[in-house]
Amino acid sequence: MKNWKTTAEAILTSGPVVPVIVVKKLEHAVPMAKALVAGGVRVLEVTLRTECARRRSARLPKKFRTRLSARARLPTLEQQLKAVTEAGAQFAISPGLTESLLKAATEDGTIPLIPGISTVSELMLGMQYGLKEFKFFPAEANGGVKALQAIAGPFGHIRFCPTGGISPANYRDYGAEQRTVHRRFWLVPADALEAGDYDRITTLAREAVEGAK
C-alpha cells in the first residue's frame, strides 16, 4: 500500500459524526464547512454528485487543514479513484466493493478507501486486501444495528461506518456497537443552505455530535 498521509482509522476515530454533503453551488461550500466545524464536526464527506463538487472539495482541506478532513464519495467505477485523489480528498468511500476496486485502492491508489459492505463475505474479501475499516450500507435495509453487531462480532479489530436509513430517531441506537462512527444526512438541510441559515447547520451539527457521545 502507499505511504498515505493519513489512515482510515485516524479519520474514523477523530469524531462520531460524519455529515454527507452535496455541493450544488460553489459559494455554499466554505461557509457550510465553517458552520459544521463550529458545531464540532471534524470529518466531512463531499459527494461527487454535482459538477462543482470535485473542484470545491479540493479547496476545503486547505482552508481547514488542522481541524477538518474532507473526503469524497467514490463512485462505483474504480477509475474514479484517481479523479477523487486529484480533487484533494484525504480518503475515499464507496457504496460497495469489487476485487478490481480493492486492487486499485491498495496497489495503485494514493488515498485510503473505505468500501461498503453488507455481508460477512464482502467484509472478509476486503480484509484479504489489508483493509480494517468498512462502511455498512445500506444499514437499515440490511437489518440495522442487530445485523451490524452480528457481522462485526467475529472481527474485533474492524471498524464500521454505517449509513443508509440512519435518522434522528435511530442514530443513537448505533452507539451500542462501539466500533462505529455515525453518519448523517440531515445536518445540511437544502432549505438552510438556500436561505444562508448557517447558524441552523451549526446547531444541528452540535446536537448530533453531543448526542453521539
The CA-atom distances, in angstroms, between 83 and each of 43, 72, 78, 86 are 20, 10, 10, 5
CATH number at residue 76: 3.20.20.70
The answer as to whether 56 is a domain residue is: yes
pLDDT tier, 66 (very low <50, low <70, confident <90, very high otherwise): very low
Catalytic residue, chosen from 45, 78, 133, 177, is: 45
Q: Give the highest mean pLDDT range of 47-61, 66-80, 172-186.
A: 172-186
| pLDDT > 70? residue 84 | yes
Is 117 domain-assigned? yes
Q: Is 146 a catalytic residue?
A: no
- Within a domain: 191: yes
pLDDT at 109 over 70: no
Could you tell me if residue 3 is inside a domain?
no
Provide the residue range defining the domain that includes 12. Answer: 8-212
Residues 25, 27, 63, 135: which is the catalytic one?
135
Confidence at residue 65, expressed as pLDDT on a 0 to 100 scale:
46
Q: Is residue 156 part of a domain?
A: yes
- For residue 69, tell me if it sits in a domain: yes
- The cell 454535482 sits on which residue? 50
Give the count of domains, the chain: 1
Distance CA 56, CA 47 (A): 11
Q: In what order do the strands lie in the sheet with 43-46?
A: 113-114, 92-93, 69-73, 43-46, 17-21, 182-184
25 is annotated as an active-site residue: no
